[in-house]
Structure 1
């Protein structure tokens, strides 16, 4: 049974990409092969795969280092996680034979083009979360260090309104009389 939450366009788009991308890759390979010859075309593909593996390893190590530093600093590693996903997908695209996927892989792997891809990924993820009913402004407020208030935490506990009213009435001898209904919960503890 199909998932009713899946967009109507998702299956046809995936099907077209799975069919169209290999056809496009073969067509581009044939055009390049006709222009420069078969052996140079194969050499370029092998060179791109080796360069892609090296670049993925280097950028992956940088991303992991940045992720660890962000976690040590106690911040939410949103951009670092996005970078990790982009580096993984970019490296995978570079491992596939073909020039079209290599262009996409380089866009995701190169440090000066990845911020654009990260912004697009972030917008897509935010739109998807908002469609699910998750308010992105609240998430940003919780994870943004500029949105926290520095101060001292004072230990205490919340006292139930019923308990608070009964305790006060018992101390004043009023019994269980209520004038205005239940009072809001009280906080007990040391106030500085």
Structure 2
């Protein structure tokens, strides 16, 4: 099941990116489209760096109090994925990356990611050893 979704993502996302980039280039012009892609890459780098540093401080604070930094790890996974998506050229990946980097929208993805990890643990696919 997971492989099917992954296969569809590998095929559909680049196809959508190419279509949207072609439409954007035709509608607003090639140079504005290129500048928008470069701008989102630069802003994505800045946002990923600032959110990443915030997550590291959160993890350090939780560990200083003797807590497992589970929430910070999920935040870190989302920030890393969001940063990678923002650096990938295209508008679809930029939107997905932005949603992963904004703390308010990241909550949905963290809940979804935690549910997947919990399901893997219940199945015995993944094990957490303390």
Do Structure 1 and Structure 2 share a fold, with TM-score over 0.5?
yes
Whose Rg is larger? 1
TM-superposition CA deviations, 1:126-176 (whole Å, max 9, x none): 112112288xxxx9xxxxxxxxxxxxxxxxxxxxxxxxxxxxxxxxxxxxx
Distance across 1 between alignment mates of 2:121 and 2:40: 36
Equivalent position of 1:50 in the other structure = 42
1:62 pairs with 36, 50, 54, which one?
Answer: 54
Runs of 4+ in 1 over 2 A off after TM superposition: 9-16
Aligned residues: 129
Distance across 2 between alignment mates of 1:98 and 1:106: 12
Written as runs of structure 1 = structure 2, the 5 A alignment for 1:13-32 is 13-32=5-24
Structure 1 residue 44, shift from structure 2 partner: 0.5
Equivalent position of 2:116 in the other structure = 124
Relative contact order (alpha carbons < 8 A, sep ≥ 6): 1 or 2 greater?
2
Instruction: Specify every segment of 5 or more residues in structure 2 that has no aligned partner in the other structure, as ranges.
Output: none
Structure 1 residue 117, shift from structure 2 partner: 1.1
Distance across 1 between alignment mates of 2:86 and 2:79: 10
Structure 1 residue 14, shift from structure 2 partner: 2.2
Distance across 2 between alignment mates of 1:16 and 1:119: 23
Does structure 1 residue 34 correspond to structure 2 residue 26? yes
The TM-score, its normalising length taken from structure 1, stands at 0.63
Identify, as 1 or 2, the structure richer in helix: 2
Structure 1 residue 10, shift from structure 2 partner: 3.0
The TM-score, its normalising length taken from structure 2, stands at 0.91
Instruction: Specify every segment of 5 or more residues in structure 1 that has no aligned partner in the other structure, as ranges.
Output: 1-8, 140-192
